[in-house]
């Protein structure tokens, strides 16, 4: 069994250093591939932690974007499985993730932002971005949808929809095992590097709404229903969706908890961007869009 961990980072090197120290200790992990998306300072020093660590440096990108750097990291993967983690996800060394979770031919494993009763803790709440899937499947579906990325997250939900459409069953991680944990942080830390940050916070503040991750999730998943993966301006209908979404729709959007059959959307998303990747040494790479 061989696993490659992929992640993307912009100005979150402190959290990444803590998380990475937990990832590299698991024998199942062959390599850790990090796309450093134009951080203000270098993270090359993190390669000292382990020979497993590979860093792809991308410059001249003003805003953070999840799909592009994750697909770039995945392009270097040689292992049988991909485990996508956020840079603030920790793998518990006392409860080996891979002993509790196995990817089968007809399934993929995803994190959960729905907590079990009595476990409403910040270190479990934001594990939704976790994805454990066969590398062959990841690449066959085209990876993450590169039409997205302007807005906070939700490319993970969209990819889950396509995996289900492809015919795979979603399996939630077992939160009670505590095999994966999340480093708590503020909502601002979660979204401040995205292009949409200023416009979204302005809209919500004008209408007296707090910036809540779940509200934005519901809005973006609504956009993800489009079969052609078109991206629409967020300001035009955001407030309408936040105000008018009823409970039945919310249940539908929770594709993992309420999954009852194949979802009819296009499961392939063609990558938009191509990269020229230059290997600097055994662990450091540089990438430029072509």
What is residue 64's predicted lDDT score, i.e. its pLDDT?
Answer: 76
Q: What's the distance, CA 121 to chain centroid?
A: 20
How many folded domains does the chain comprise? 1
What is residue 232's predicted lDDT score, i.e. its pLDDT?
Answer: 37
Q: Which residues of the chain have pLDDT under 50?
A: 115-117, 211-214, 217, 220-221, 223-263
**Strands, DSSP E only, in 10-116?**
29-37, 53-58, 81-84, 89-91, 107-110
Structure tokens at 141: 């579906």
What is residue 66's predicted lDDT score, i.e. its pLDDT?
Answer: 86
Structure tokens at 128: 């939704």
If residue 9 lies in a helix (H) or strand (E), which one and from where to where? strand 3-9
Pairing mode, strands 107-110 and 3-9: unpaired
Angstrom distance (rounded) from CA 10 to CA 28: 26
Query: What is the domain extent for residue 77?
Result: 3-289
Structure tokens at 209: 């709404």
If residue 222 lies in a helix (H) or strand (E), which one and from where to where? helix 213-224
CA angle 71, 283, 153 (to 5 degrees): 30
What is residue 199's predicted lDDT score, i.e. its pLDDT?
Answer: 62
Q: Which 3 state secondary structure label does DSSP give 68?
A: helix
What is residue 176's predicted lDDT score, i.e. its pLDDT?
Answer: 74
Angstrom distance (rounded) from CA 271 to CA 273: 6
Q: How far is CA 186 from CA 62, 189, 239, 288, in A?
A: 21, 5, 22, 32
Angstrom distance (rounded) from CA 169 to CA 171: 6
pTM of the model: 0.76
Signed CA dihedral, 269, 273, 278, 282: sign only: negative
Angstrom distance (rounded) from CA 129 to CA 86: 7
What is residue 25's predicted lDDT score, i.e. its pLDDT?
Answer: 94
Angstrom distance (rounded) from CA 271 to CA 147: 8
Q: What is the CATH number of the domain that holds 85?
A: 3.90.550.10
């Amino acid at each position: 069994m061989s696993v490659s961990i992929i992640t993307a980072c912009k100005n979150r090197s402190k959290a990444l250093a803590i998380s990475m120290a937990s990832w590299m200790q698991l024998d199942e992990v062959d390599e850790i591939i990090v796309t450093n998306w134009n951080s203000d300072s270098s993270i090359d020093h993190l390669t000292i932690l382990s020979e497993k660590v590979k860093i792809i440096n991308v410059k001249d990108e003003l805003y953070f974007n999840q799909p592009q750097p994750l697909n770039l990291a995945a392009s270097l993967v040689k292992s049988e499985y991909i485990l996508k983690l956020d840079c603030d996800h920790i793998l518990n060394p006392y409860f080996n993730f891979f002993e509790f979770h196995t990817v089968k031919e007809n399934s993929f494993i995803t994190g959960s932002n729905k907590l079990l009763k009595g476990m409403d803790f910040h270190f479990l709440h934001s594990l939704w971005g976790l994805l454990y899937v066969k590398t062959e499947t990841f690449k066959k579906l085209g990876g993450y949808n590169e039409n997205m990325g302007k807005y906070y997250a939700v490319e993970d939900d969209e990819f889950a929809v396509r995996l289900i459409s492809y015919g795979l069953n979603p399996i939630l991680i077992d939160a009670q095992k505590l095999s994966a944990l999340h480093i708590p942080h503020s909502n601002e830390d979660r979204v401040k590097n995205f292009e949409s940050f200023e416009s979204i916070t302005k809209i919500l503040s004008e209408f007296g709404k707090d910036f809540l991750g779940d509200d934005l999730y519901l809005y973006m998943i609504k956009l993800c229903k489009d079969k052609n993966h078109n991206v629409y301006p967020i300001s035009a209908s955001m407030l309408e969706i936040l105000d008018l979404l009823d409970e039945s729709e919310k249940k539908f959007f929770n594709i993992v908890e309420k999954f009852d059959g194949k979802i009819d959307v296009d499961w392939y998303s063609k990558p938009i961007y191509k990269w020229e990747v230059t290997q600097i040494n055994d662990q450091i790479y540089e990438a430029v869009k072509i």
